[in-house]
Amino acid sequence: MDSPLLIGAALVLFVLAFARTEFALYVMVFSMLLSPEITASAGGLAERRDVTVRTEDFVLLVVGFSWFAKTAVNKELGLVAKTPLNRPIIAYVAVNLMATLLGYLMGSVQTAAGYFYVLKYIEYFVVYFMVVNNLRDRAHAWRLLTAALLTAAIVSVIGLTQIPSGERVSAPFEGESGEPNTLGGYLLFMMAIAGGIALEATRLVIRTRFVALLGLMAVPFAFTLSRASYLGVIPAFLALLAVTTRRRALIAIALVVVVCSPLLLVVAPPSVVNRVLYTFEPEANQPTVRLGKVGLDPSTSARILSFKQAFAGWLERPIFGWGVTGFGFMDAQYARVLVETGIVGFLTFVWLLWSVLKAARAAYLRLVDPLDRGLVMGFIAGTFGLLAHAIGSNTFIVIRIMEPFWLVAGIVVMLPVFVDDETRAPAHPLATAAAAHAVR
């Protein structure tokens, strides 16, 4: 994209975001999965990967600056709302910065790559704070969620068009080499949201719509052939079963079918079945991890070996680790956090995720509306699904998974606040007068 055009677009978006923040939020939501690449470096900044700048990075940067400018002009708006997640978020960012600084001083982080990655982490949290600072009421929250679900539907339709090619389905605008694992994690999370709402909905028409959306997402999800995403389905189901107060028998039956039924292997597309069975097919002259007499494929073996390497590296620097990008690339979230930020960073990461689940659970207990409860229940299930997905992927640092995740996290945290505000709201004067007259 030409620089003058980019600057002009930035100025227009800045003015629109300054004048109408809600418009900027919608642009941000649709850009999360439907944004093309702007530039990509030839050599890559870190981890032998190209550095890609997407439209959502550009949008979020401009929207963030417009929000800062707006709060500077209107002091009553406040820069950061007080939420249960503020302290763990700040602590997590601080630990990553500290670990990376120490890694740079000790020579393990040799370029600006570490700080670039930490800035990307901060970008996800900016999404969260933009949501909690700008949502006005419950209706506004649901309009924003509807935009996110519509984006998921569009992405799923695009995914359907990729299936006839025979290649693994990936998200739109992923360049020449897509990231099916990323799309799988994203769809896993959004399917949990749709499933939670469908389970709790009391109106048949609403339930039907969300079941249809769930079915639409499930097809491209299957054809991502992402085993980490398949693994996440089981804890997501279990979380729904544990939290919901409705249709537990239906969830239990579906879980048994997914986990135990041989029929699933008959119904599933051959590519899906082959992908699952490939897990137990070692290759000659490739790293192989064996579980008893069963050998694992090179990809699964490499992930298990990366855990061993990360543990050995952590023992050398156990407190703050090697710094972000300081230990080399590994596609396993927990191993990466441990070796890059040490035990301090790992415990802070656990604290952050625990705080997210704790806040969601508190919201579920306080909410009354079935759709609100379904959304929160789906968010909890989706989080557990991503926790499993993170065993074989860097789930919690992938932009196309984390931006939707923190968007919904902001909505979940704010829904109980809106309910409390409605409860405390003073009655209309005419209603108060009528009540007084009735007492007399």
Residue 160 resides in a domain: yes
Summarize pLDDT for 169-184 with one digit per residue, the tens: 888 877 666 788 899 9
Q: Is residue 398 part of a domain?
A: yes
Examine residue 106 and state whether it is found in any structural domain, yes or no.
Answer: yes
pLDDT for res 439: 40
Residue bearing the bigger pLDDT, 258 or 433: 258
Average pLDDT on 106-132 reads 84
Q: Is residue 266 part of a domain?
A: no
Number of structural domains in the chain? 1
Alpha-carbon gap, residue 344 to 328, rounded angstroms = 19
Which of 209, 232, 218 is CA-nearest to residue 169?
Answer: 218
Which has the closest alpha carbon to 19: 59, 56, 74? 74
For the cut 50, the answer to whether the pLDDT of residue 438 exceeds it is no
Task: Determine contact, residues 232/185, Cβ cutoff 8 Å.
Answer: yes
Distance CA 19, CA 10 (A): 14
Task: List residues bridging with 295 in a β-sheet.
Answer: 290
- pLDDT tens digit string along 25-79? 888 888 888 776 655 444 444 554 445 566 666 777 777 677 666 666 665 555 6
Q: Does residue 10 lie in a domain region?
A: no
Tens-place pLDDT, residues 71-118: 666 655 556 778 999 999 999 999 999 999 999 888 888 777 778 888
Q: Which of 85-99, 256-270, 281-295, 320-334 has the lowest mean pLDDT?
A: 256-270
* Mean pLDDT value of segment 299-307: 76
- Identify the pLDDT of residue 167: 85
| DSSP sequence for 305-358 | HHHHHHHHHHHHSTTTTT-TTSS---S-HHHHHHHHHHHHHHHHHHHHHHHHHH
Percentage of the chain lying above the pLDDT 70 cut: 69
pLDDT given at position 296: 66
Closest by CA position to 236, among listed 191, 267, 183: 191
CB atoms within 10 A of CB 94: 12
Euclidean distance between CA atoms 21 and 16, whole angstroms: 7
**Residue 48 in domain:** no
Does residue 56 belong to any structural domain of this protein? no
Query: DSSP letters along 79-128, please?
Result: SS---TTHHHHHHHHHHHHHHHHHHHHHTSS-STHHHHHHHHHHHHHHHH
Q: Is residue 37 part of a domain?
A: no
* Token couple for 352: 């952050």
Which residues lie closer than 8 Å to 208 by C-beta, 6 or more apart?
Answer: none
User: Which residue segment(s) compose the domain that 195 sits in?
Assistant: 85-261+297-424
- Helix or strand run (H / E) with residue 205: helix 204-223
Mean pLDDT of 5-15: 67
